[in-house]
Structure 1
Amino acid sequence: MTKHLQPFKNVSYVQSSLTMFLYFASWSIWWSLFQIWLASKSNGLGLSGTEIGTIYSVNSFVTIIFLFSYGLIQDKLVIKRTLIISCASISVLVGPFFTLVYKDLIQNHFFVGVIAGSIFLSAGFLSASGVYETVAEKLSRFFNFKYGQARAWGSIGFALSALIAGHLFVINPDFNFWLGSLLSLFLLLNLILLKSKNEKKMIKTLRNHPDDESIPTAKDMIETLKMKHLWVVMLFIMFTGTFYGIYDGQMFPDFYTKLFDNPKTGQTMYGNLNSLQVFCEAIMMGIVPIIMMKIGVKPTLMLGVSVMFLRIGLSASTDSPILMSLIKMMHALEVPLFMLPTFRYLTLHFDPKLSATLYLVGLQISGQIGSVLLSTPLGILRDNIGYNYTFILISIIVMIAAVFGFILLKNDDEMVDGDPFLKNAQLTN
């Protein structure tokens, strides 16, 4: 028991875990049902697949701009909270923005609403998630705790909010947005008020050594775009994570709720299922590092892509709510199996001091570029041929990308320009 409680003696771990919990809780309470809100004719905006695709496409384009800026800024700040405090301040406004501004603009001035929404979403949430995660990852290396364990609290926060979200949504979707504002306020207070003495000392040390080689220069950041292998990683992400993200975020929620005779029953069930899935995801966040230690980084990543392919393909094979719920639970496997080894792949094969730039710019931007190019066409495709055939097409593309990654991604003992990775078997020899 004492061993399990040991991490909680680390103040930086506790604060990072609380930040992850509150951030993802404040996002999940409305984001987990955002696509349903856009599509629902009974208690949402009643938009078509093409219109929803346009919203997601523009969101992704603006997110690219913010991601690049955030990556450069946070690598300079290292563990300072200036940027994430700014992001949290924006997220506090989610309630008034969506209920008083965005809804009216989308219904009466669609493209103005799309642009305004993309700026708000990107600044406060879509681009910010990577910043919160990279700050937590840097803190884990500075203050000796496991990033995966701290990130798992984010999944727990997401799950708890998702459980409440479905029930609030069928009463009044506005409640979801306003509760998001309240949770964001708690997040902001946490970031401003809670800081360990060791963290303050480290920030002071970094401030007194502005030329420390652990802090990347602008030249270092520009050089990342000249790395040929980074482009291989970006293409791999674009044709796996991007397609999966469009499937799971832009299409699956509405597809799932339409399997039920009563839309409100479907919306409530989706919220409950989403919560259960994220709880399981949190458990997997703690298990995946163990899997990586057993089989390696690249094999774990390829396992995650295999789960992607199976889930998308199986979604097109049944219209049973029960079977579809089981298929949805595969998401709990996919997220940790894809996210954690991807981050470790970057710190293994590239300079760790550029981790925020590589994660935000190299990884997330590649995904957002794919979303810009593909969200609207896939939305049009869904309007014309339906969800099932669209899912089949997406699954085939993910399978091809998996073969591409298997051939071109580096093995764990190749091109080790970052922190070396040793499996359990290697450590015992």
Structure 2
Amino acid sequence: MNNLKQLKFWNFGGIYYFYFMIWALIFAFLPFWLNKTAHLDTSVSGLVFSAMAITALILEPLYGIIQDKLGLKKYLFGFVVLCLLFIGPFVQFAFIPLLEINAIFGAIVGGAYLSLCLNGGVGVVEAYMERSTRASNYEYGHVRLFGSLAGGTAAFIGGIMFVRNPYSIFWACTVSAVILGVLLWTLRVKKEEKEAVHSPEVTEEETPVTKENILNVFKNRSFWGFCIMMIGIATMFDVFDQQFPNYFASFFSDASRGELVFSRIASVQVFLEAGFMVLAPWFINKIGAKNGLILAGIVLFVRVIGSAFLTEIWMLATWRLLAAIEMPLMLVSIMKYITSVFDVRLSATVYMLGFNFAKQVGISIFSFVMGYLYNLIGFQSGYVVLSIIILVFVIAGAMIMRSEKFYNDSNRKLAAA
């Protein structure tokens, strides 16, 4: 039995590893590819990311409700894997021709397709895996660290691959999708394991989700505070990282050298992130999920403002490594806050809407805005503006959100009554 449990742990880990291998390869090197291979300026590149975000806005509400109704069934996850399989052929044979026909049209189509796999698809992956690991009595953060390991691997090998052949990145994603599909197909969560997760804190998890249950989420002030916090942290994390590789590479006389060095730094960062991911569940349990989110926002603010003023290469590299602390704090706090504050039957819906949907709303706006600002006032001044935006959203979200302790105390009083 223990051997089967260990095997399932590695199965979960493998799914996270190969999905986030694809994620890391694309998000680390897509900015380089759009600039160097597709020859797009920062404003059109920003439009690609905005298209990804807008497509996710359409998908997230549907994905959340569908996944909550499916529970532990894998159909929606399987659809995401199917889209991932065609990334290589799409970029090689369709993306560039579309951009040549019309840059704006090509950017929108390319961004929309990538969103099926990434901005929209990641919500399906995270929601399904959180529910499956919770049903199998695993700590989410311990399994999620495989995603960080994948990011480190992708950054290390991706730099070499990209310099030799920019298209190889996307074909590596297709190969990873094949392995991901096999791992998902072999994953099994037994009925008794689903029942074992039931506890006083997780009552009636198998009761059908109703329209009233979903509407109650929107009546909760913490949901709206959580959305604002996600724009301040998750949105700005992605917006900052979208074109930072080009900013970093600009400090090198040889851009290819800058791309390779950046890939090495990103690799170190993500392996450090994996180490912090092991400790994050314990740490968040100590300080609380809301406080963990606030701390993640502070780290992001420091990272962005530092990048505006620390213009030596070694300083930028060191400051980049702060993301290794920020990401585990954010991811673990998000999942713990959702399952502590909201009805766990709606964990996918809350995750899709409160995290992914809110994040994509922000990305669809700020990707284009920041791309325009980088052109207008430069990266350094743009980063000062971005850091102020982060601070405003994090403070506003923290003021509106209630801590999970508030809900635990309220539940105890109701039980006592």
TM normalised by structure 2 equals: 0.91
More deviation, 405-414/215-224 = 215-224
Deviates more, 1:390-399 or 1:211-220: 211-220
Report the AA paired with residue 165 of structure 1.
G
Counterparts of 2:24 and 2:210 in 1: how far apart (Å)? 35
1:224 matched to 2:234? The reply is no
Give the counterpart letter for 1:253 in structure 2.
P
CA contact (8 A) 2:59 2:120 kept: yes
Structure 1 residue 176 displacement after superposition? 0.8
Q: CA deviation at 1:204?
A: 11
Distance 1:378 1:8, change over 3 A: farther
Is contact 2:232-2:391 (8 Å) kept?
no
Where 1:364 maps in the other structure, the secondary structure is helix
1:147 is matched by which residue type in structure 2?
A: Y
Report the secondary structure of 2:407's partner residue.
Answer: coil
Shift of the 314–342 alpha-carbon distance from structure 1 to 2, 3 Å rule, reads same
* Corresponding residue number in structure 2 for 1:399: 391
Tell me the residue number matched to 2:65: 72
Partner of 1:112: 105
Question: Cα distance, 1:381 vs. partner?
Answer: 0.9
The whole-number CA distance in structure 2 between the counterparts of 1:232 and 1:31 is: 28
SS in 2 for 1:239: helix
Is this contact kept in 2: 1:148–1:289, CA < 8 A?
A: yes
Out of 239, 248, 253, which is 2:241 matched to? 248
Asked if 1:24 corresponds to 2:20, the answer is: yes
After TM superposition, the structure 1 = structure 2 runs for residues 84-123 of structure 1, keeping only pairs within 5 Å, are 84-123=77-116
Flag the 1:303–1:276 CA change in 2: closer, same or farther, 3 A: same
Question: CA contact under 8 A between 1:301 and 1:337: conserved in structure 2?
Answer: yes
Counterpart position of 2:176: 183
Structure 1 residues 267 and 226 mapped into 2: Cα distance closer, same or farther (>3 Å)?
A: same
Aligned counterpart, 1:383: 375
Structure 1 pair 127/142, CA: closer, same or farther in 2 (3 Å)? Answer: same
- The alpha carbon displacement at 1:37 in A equals 1.1
Kindly indicate whether the alpha-carbon contact (under 8 Å) linking 1:12 and 1:139 is maintained by their aligned counterparts in 2.
Answer: no
1:69 and 1:91 map into 2 onto residues whose CA distance is 19
What residue in structure 2 maps to residue 348 of structure 1? 340
1:147 offset after TM fit, Å?
A: 0.9
User: What is the one-letter code of the residue matched to 1:282?
Assistant: A
Q: 1:84 to 1:316 in 2, by over 3 A?
A: same
What SS is found at the alignment partner of 2:252?
Answer: coil
Partners of 1:417 and 1:258 lie apart in 2 by 52
State the secondary structure of the residue aligned to 2:137.
Answer: coil
Structure 1 residue 8: Cα displacement = 7.7
User: 1:9 maps to which residue?
Assistant: 5
Q: Which runs of 5+ in 2 are unaligned?
A: 197-203, 413-417
Question: Percent identity, aligned pairs only?
Answer: 26
Farther-moved stretch of structure 1 (24-33 vs 335-344): 24-33
Cα distance change on mapping 1:276 and 1:101 into 2, 3 Å: same
| Pairing of 1:10-409 with structure 2 (within 5 A) | 10-40=6-36, 44-192=37-185, 194-196=186-188, 198-199=189-190, 213-249=206-242, 251-409=243-401
Shifted more, 217-226 versus 331-340: the winner is: 217-226
- For residues 209-244 of structure 1, what are the alpha-carbon distances to aligned partners after superposition, in whole Å with 9 as ceiling and x for unaligned? xx9744423442344233333112112222332123
* Contact kept? 1:221, 1:354, Cα under 8 Å: yes
Q: 1:286 to 1:333 in 2, by over 3 A?
A: same
TM-score of the pair, normalised by structure 1: 0.89
Contact kept? 1:348, 1:419, Cα under 8 Å? no
In the other structure, the counterpart of 2:199 is: none
The CA deviation at 1:7 is: 8.9
Deviation at residue 419 of structure 1 after TM alignment: 9.6
Task: Name the CA distance, whole Å, in 2 between partners of 1:417 and 1:98.
Answer: 52
> What is the Cα deviation at residue 128 of structure 1?
1.3
Cα pair 2:47 2:104 within 8 Å, conserved: no
Matches of 1:417 and 1:90 in 2, distance apart?
44
Q: 1:418 to 1:110 in 2, by over 3 A?
A: farther
Distance 2:78 2:177 in 1: 10
Inter-CA distance 204–296: structure 2 relative to 1 (3 Å threshold): closer
Cα separation, 1, equivalents of 2:30 and 2:209 = 37
Provide closer, same or farther for how the CA distance between residues 340 and 373 of structure 1 changes in structure 2, counting only shifts above 3 A: same
Cα 1:389/1:45, change in 2 over 3 Å: same
CA displacement at 1:417 relative to structure 2: 9.3
Conservation of the 8 A alpha-carbon contact between 2:21 and 2:176: yes
The answer on whether the counterparts of 2:17 and 2:146 sit within 8 Å (CA) in structure 1 is yes
Cα RMSD, aligned residues only: 2.4
Residues 416 and 164 (structure 1 numbering): CA distance in 2 closer, same or farther, change over 3 Å?
same
- Partners of 2:80 and 2:121 within 8 A in 1: yes
